Structure formats: C-alpha cells, structure tokens
Amino acid sequence: MPNEPRLTSPREVCGLLAQLGHRPNKGLGQNFLIDANILDRIVATAGIEPEDSVLEIGPGLGALTERIVPKAKSVTCIEKDPVMAKYLKSRFPGLGNFTLIESDALDVDLDALFSAGINKVAANLPYSVASRLMVEIAECEHRPARMALTIQKEVADRLVSPAGSKHYGILGILTGVFYENTLVKKISPTCFLPPPKVWSAVVLMTRREVPAIGKSEYPLFKQLVKSCFSQRRKQIGTILKRMGIEPVDLILGDAGIEHSERPECIEIERWARLAELLS
Ligand code: SAM
C-alpha cells in the first residue's frame, strides 16, 4: 500500500486521524497498535496459513488487517465505528478475500461465521467487551481452532491463571473448558496510540480436542461455577448445602472435592465432574 499512511508511524497515524476528523473514541477502546513487532507477533501467534479464514474484531485503521490479508484465504472484519469502517473500505478496496461487517460484534451471529468456515481469530480486542467476546466465542458450537488476541494484561492473568491462584475464576474456567490459554507477551502502553492507562498482553487460545464438559451438561456447569464464585471465600460444602444439594459430602467425594475446599482451588476437571454428578 505505497500511498497509504504507515500505521506504525505515530506521526502518520495522527495525520490520518486529523484528515478523517476523528478523535480516538475511549468508549470504543480506540488505542491503536503502532508497534510493528507486536503486530507481527500477533499474526505469528495466530499461525495463519494460506487455507485459513480469519476473523478480526475491531480492525480500527487496519494495522493488523493489512498483515493478515496477504497471508489468509479470507479475512472478515467486524468494526462498530462508522469512521473506521469507511476508511477500511477505502484502504482495502475490491479485495476478493476481505469482507467488512459494519456492526457491534456483540450483535453478530458469530457461530454462523464460524460454521461458514472461519477457523481463526486475530484481534486487538476492544477492552470493554473482551471478556464477554472470549466467552461467547468459546461457547460457539463451531468455535475457531486458534485465537491470537490482545487484551488487558489483568484480563490475561484471569484467562491463564491455574486453580489456587488469586486470578483464577469464571473467565479462565468458562474459556478453559474449550481452550488451552497461554500468555504470549506483555505489551507496554507505549506500543499504542494513544497509550492506554494499563499494560496489555497477547494471549493464545488453542481449541481443546474434546471440551472438558459435554454440551448438555455445560449450562448447569456454568450456572454452578458462577454461583459458587459469587461466594468464592466460602467452603464448597457450605455453598452446596445452602443450595439445597444432598447428600453434599457424598457427591463432593465422588467428584474428588473436599467439603472445606474453596471454589478458587477447584480445577476445571473437578468442576466438570461435580456438574456431571449433579446433572
Ligand atoms: N485493530 C486496531 C489496532 O490494533 O490498532 C484497533 C484496535 S482498538 C483496541 C479496538 C477497535 O474495536 C476499534 O477500532 C473500535 O472502534 C472497535 N470496536 C469497539 N467496540 C466494538 C464492538 N463492540 N464491535 C466491533 N468493533 C468494536
């Protein structure tokens, strides 16, 4: 794209935004990645092959998009901001493998996109909806094989922390049923324009061959985890007793869980066994 502004040059990005008459929208999490190494790292983490169909949520000005388009069979982008959407259409005109959906990603039927063949996601997610999107995607029936995402570092900690650690909780468990989550790289605020107040991180989510719990037991599993974590400092035996579950200690014993354990110490596999026994 010889005549287009370089999206890794702060000066050129500022010039482009001025030309578009646009000020980065905080509510939409518009912190544009301007570090070429990080952008390349996200693409490498997604492991994009020529036969892959990729979804990007929140393409913004297209810094990541322009790296994915030459590598993938197809790229579908969902962008909520009409100014960004209009610019993207002019930056990637008439490309056979590029599709733009101008919408709020939360209003898009993501499972329909995945069932139509999208098998990877690469994105610098809007932080306000990142956790919700990760869970919604994980819960899709045709969930993608691999996702490389930039998210807030604090959310990344919750995504990857094992049972027993202070960040372990609902996000890590619900996504962990379907994905192996790893933190790939921490990102300094200075890699963005404008810089956010917090650190970020690139995470990799690789689909598990077999989810930790069956499709029919998942709704009960989710409800159980959510209500137990709303009382995370209490003992699991006490929580279940208050829910009217009987005989608590027998069921817990069968799931390999002690009455006195706290929700934050129970691994996904033991939550799954407990949900199976209760279902
Ligand atoms: N991908 C670009 C980059 O890396 O520089 C921009 C990433 S910026 C963190 C997030 C982008 O998501 C913005 O372009 C914003 O307009 C868009 N966005 C925010 N909320 C959205 C939503 N609910 N659905 C779709 N796009 C959204």
Q: What is the pLDDT of residue 82?
A: 98
**197 and 247 part of one domain:** no
Q: What is the pLDDT of residue 4?
A: 87
Q: Exposure of 62 by Cβ count < 10 A (0-12 exposed, 13-18 middle, 19+ buried)?
A: buried
**54 and 95 part of one domain:** yes
Q: Mutation test of ligand 1: which of 61, 81, 149 has the most ligand atoms closer than 8 Å to its C-beta?
A: 81
Question: For ligand 1, which residues put their CB under 6 angstroms from it?
Answer: 28-33, 57-60, 63-64, 78-81, 84, 104-106, 124, 126, 129
If one counts the domains in the chain, the total is 2
What CATH number corresponds to the domain at position 60? 3.40.50.150
**71 and 173 part of one domain:** yes
Q: Mean pLDDT over residues 176-186, rounded?
A: 98
**99 and 134 part of one domain:** yes
| Closest ligand 1 atom, residue 32 Cα | 5
**98 and 223 part of one domain:** no
Is the confidence at residue 3, as pLDDT, over 90? no
**45 and 112 part of one domain:** yes
Is the confidence at residue 247, as pLDDT, over 60? yes
Mean of per-residue pLDDT scores for the chain? 96
**139 and 245 part of one domain:** no
In whole angstroms, what is the distance from residue 83 CA to residue 22 CA? 8
pTM of the model: 0.96
212, part of any domain: no
Q: What is the pLDDT of residue 2?
A: 57
Q: Which of 230, 240, 228 is nearest to 266 (CA)?
A: 228
How far does the centroid of ligand 1 lie from the alpha carbon of residue 81, in Å?
8
What is the span of the domain harbouring residue 168? 10-207
Give tens-digit pLDDT for 19-51. 999 999 999 999 999 999 999 999 999 999 999
Q: Mean pLDDT over residues 107-127, rounded?
A: 98
Give tens-digit pLDDT for 70-84. 999 999 999 999 999
What are φ and ψ of residue 261, in 5° steps? Answer: -70, 150
Q: For residue 204, what are its two tokens?
A: 């990799």
| Closest ligand 1 atom, residue 60 Cα | 14
**177 and 146 part of one domain:** yes
Give tens-digit pLDDT for 50-71. 999 999 999 999 999 999 999 9
Structural Rg of the chain based on CA atoms: 21
242, part of any domain: yes
3, part of any domain: no
Q: Mean pLDDT over residues 98-126, rounded?
A: 98
Window from 91-95, 147-151, 219-223, 272-276 with minimum mean pLDDT: 91-95
**238 and 137 part of one domain:** no
How far does the centroid of ligand 1 lie from the alpha carbon of residue 165, in Å?
31
83, part of any domain: yes
Which letter, b or e, does each residue of 105-125 get, where b requires 16 or more Cβ atoms within 10 Å of its Cβ?
A: beebebeebbeeebbbbbbbb
Residue carrying structure tokens 């001025």: 18
**162 and 244 part of one domain:** no
How far does the centroid of ligand 1 lie from the alpha carbon of residue 8, in Å?
17
Q: Mean pLDDT over residues 219-230, rounded?
A: 97
89, part of any domain: yes
Give tens-digit pLDDT for 142-170. 999 999 999 999 999 999 999 999 999 99
Q: Which of 251, 120, 107, 228 is nearest to 174 (CA)?
A: 228
In whole angstroms, what is the distance from residue 232 CA to residue 63 CA? 41
Q: What is the pLDDT of residue 95?
A: 76
Task: State what percent of residues in the chain have pLDDT above 70.
Answer: 99
What CATH number corresponds to the domain at position 266? 1.10.8.100
Last residue of a domain, one of 207, 240, 258: 207
**120 and 235 part of one domain:** no
In whole angstroms, what is the distance from residue 186 CA to residue 190 CA? 12
Is the confidence at residue 100, as pLDDT, over 80? yes
**200 and 151 part of one domain:** yes
